Amino acid sequence: MMVSTKGRYALRVIIDLAQHKDEGYVSLKSISERQKISLKYLEMIAASLNRAGLVQSQRGKEGGYMLTKPAAEYTVGAVLRAAEGDLAPVSCLDCGENTCERADSCITLPMWQRLDGLINGYLDSVSIEDMLKGEL
């Protein structure tokens, strides 16, 4: 599993919004300036986060983005999956049901399944609030 810049930046966006939650809606321009991320790239990431229901947006002068729930209710896994899609370490696990013709005889499949479970289990055990508090 390789987390792309899209996933890493999505995590930074969520953390930034959590840090500035008392400001109400936060503009992507201000996030872009603080995080040193291209505004155009942030627009694409914010759209993914919005579609996943992790942020809500408001248009207009006082518009921007804000979290839809408290930071403690967001997991790193949920944020990364919203940006990246499935986090499976191998392609035969990334679409739910394994349709590989070798699945029944694949000696390595149980190891990949266990690794997938460990990765997702860990990422789902870390909340954004944990990260903000440095409790890892």
Q: Nearest CA to 78 among 2, 134, 7, 5?
A: 7
Q: Which spans in 39-108 are helix H?
A: 39-51, 76-84
Which overall architecture, per CATH, does domain 5-133 show? Answer: Orthogonal Bundle (1.10)
User: Could you tell me the two tokens for 7?
Assistant: 């996933």
The pLDDT value recorded for residue 131 is 96
Task: State how far the Cα of 103 lies from the Cα of 92, in Å rounded to an integer.
Answer: 9
| Chain segment 71-113, per-residue pLDDT in tens | 999 999 999 999 998 888 888 877 667 777 787 888 988 999 9
- For residues 110 and 121, what is the distance between their CA atoms, to the nearest angstrom? 16
The ranges assigned to domains in the chain are 5-133
Name the β-bridge partners of 65. Answer: 26, 57
**Chain Cα centroid distance, residue 106:** 31
For 3-62, what is each residue's pLDDT tens digit?
Answer: 999 999 999 999 999 999 999 999 999 999 999 999 999 999 999 999 999 999 999 988
User: Under a CB-based contact definition with an 8 Å cutoff, are residues 26 and 33 in contact?
Assistant: no
